Amino acid sequence: MKAFRVERYGDKAGVRADDVPRPQVGADDVLVRIHAASVNPLDLKIRDGEFKAILPYRVPFVLGNDLAGTVVEVGTAVTRFSVGDEVYARPDKDRIGTFAELIAVHQDDVAVKPVTLTMEEAASLPLVALTSWQALVERARVRPGQKVLVHAGSGGVGTIAVQLARHLGARVATTTGTANVDLVKSLGADVVVDYKKQAFETVLHDYDIVLDPLGGENVEKSLRVLKPGGKVISIAGPPDAAFARELGANPILRTAMAALSFRTRRRARRRHATYEFLFMRASGHQLRELAALVDAGHIRPVVDRVFPFASIPEALEYVEKGRPKAGKVVVTMM
């Protein structure tokens, strides 16, 4: 089958099309013919080898982290799916490879796709929707009336997180550029800070939760807008020891990760707040919950552009150069 593989780390030209063996289907697996996949910043980080210490993929490997498609074969122990089901998924971190014609995914990581969405729209959701759910529902346990700041509200994670936080009853603030102010308002943002005109840390205060997909100095600035007892959850800031434990990392790596986030966690404590790093995990159960929200009209995907399968290198470059105006970039396999 056709697939796009990473042949060497850290080389844009190292992602190329190739013929690879058809996936083997385990007892608990569903084999999915992929109709569409989306491009995420995570794909770029994996391609460049930024996660080699914690996600040691052995080159060559197929890139790609979420999908929508049709089940074409089921393993002997599969009970939730049948051939012909239209599904969407974010495969487990150890089984990525959605830039391909076929993929075998554990049934626990798959869900029937939202019936109201096209394959392209559904493919844009798994990674960013799971990230939003695990940050706001699992970690933050957002309650009605709380104040939630979602950075980069017009981005892949931001467009979904703004809608989810609003659905949970929060008062939602977000940051975005001038061109996307109306978009994030339409998604449910109550307060919009145009980062080209204002510094969010000077106009926002007393927030319960901040979801940060940007990292860097944005994390430190976000701590300043929290109320006592507040929390910053970052998907791009320094990893912490809790994340290392989730990975099952050895003691040396756990210590190293704790050191990376030590200053940030100390600054949070000084403000009587907390800092957490989130690396999203696969979950078919949560995707079912999210599909229900989509079909009920509470969440809608935002797709910036669709590329054909043969243009995956161009799609990666498009995302890397920050060209998307809003939402996700999708590639179609069919």
pLDDT tens across the length of the chain (334 residues): 999 999 999 888 889 999 999 999 999 999 999 999 999 999 999 999 988 877 879 999 999 999 999 999 999 999 999 999 999 999 999 999 999 999 999 999 999 999 999 999 999 999 999 999 999 999 999 999 999 999 999 999 999 999 999 999 999 999 999 999 999 999 999 999 999 999 999 999 999 999 999 999 999 999 999 999 999 999 999 988 788 778 777 788 778 888 889 999 999 999 999 999 999 999 999 999 999 999 999 999 999 999 999 999 999 999 999 999 999 999 998 7
Both 133 and 273 in a single domain? yes
| pLDDT score, position 11 | 82
| Domain boundary, last residue among 261, 277, 293 | 277
Both 259 and 312 in a single domain? no
Q: How far apart are CA 125 and CA 159, in angstroms?
A: 10
Both 207 and 268 in a single domain? yes
Both 255 and 144 in a single domain? yes
Residue 210 resides in a domain? yes
Both 114 and 133 in a single domain? no
The full length of the chain comes to 334
Residue 225 resides in a domain? yes
Residue 35 resides in a domain? yes
| pLDDT score, position 248 | 75
- The structure tokens listed for 278 are 């989130």
Both 108 and 163 in a single domain? no
| pLDDT score, position 131 | 98
Residue 291 resides in a domain? no
Both 111 and 234 in a single domain? no
Both 269 and 133 in a single domain? yes
Determine the structural domain holding residue 16 and report its residue range. Answer: 2-124+301-332
CATH at residue 81 = 3.90.180.10
Both 111 and 206 in a single domain? no
Q: How far apart are CA 136 and CA 7, in angstroms?
A: 36
Residue 290 resides in a domain? no
Q: How far apart are CA 127 and CA 144, in angstroms?
A: 25
Contacts of 182 (CB under 8 A, 6+ apart): none
148 within 8 A of 231, measured Cβ to Cβ: no
DSSP 26-59: -TTEEEEEEEEEEE-HHHHHHHTTTTTTTS-PPS
| pLDDT score, position 86 | 98
Burial of residue 84, with CB atoms counted within 10 A of its CB: 0-12 exposed, 13-18 middle, 19 or more buried: exposed
- The structure tokens listed for 287 are 């995707």
Q: Which helix (H) or strand (E) holds 222?
A: helix 217-223
Q: What are phi and psi of 272, to 5 degrees?
A: 55, 40
Pairing, β 102-106 against β 303-308:
unpaired
| pLDDT score, position 128 | 98
Identity (one letter) of the amino acid at 20?
Answer: V
| pLDDT score, position 249 | 73
Q: What count of other Cβ atoms lies within 10 Å of the Cβ of residue 22?
A: 12
| pLDDT score, position 144 | 98
| pLDDT score, position 321 | 94
Contacts of 6 (CB under 8 A, 6+ apart): 14, 15, 46, 47, 57, 59, 60, 61, 62, 63
Q: What are phi and psi of 205, to 5 degrees?
A: -160, 160
Both 150 and 249 in a single domain? yes
Residue 206 resides in a domain? yes
Query: Taking phi first (over 0 means left), then psi (-120 to 50 degrees means alpha), and beta for anything else, what does residue 196 get?
Result: alpha
CATH at residue 201 = 3.40.50.720
Both 75 and 164 in a single domain? no
Total count of domains within the chain:
2
| pLDDT score, position 314 | 96
Residue 269 resides in a domain? yes
Both 90 and 166 in a single domain? no
Q: How far apart are CA 10 and CA 44, in angstroms?
A: 9
Residue 43 resides in a domain? yes
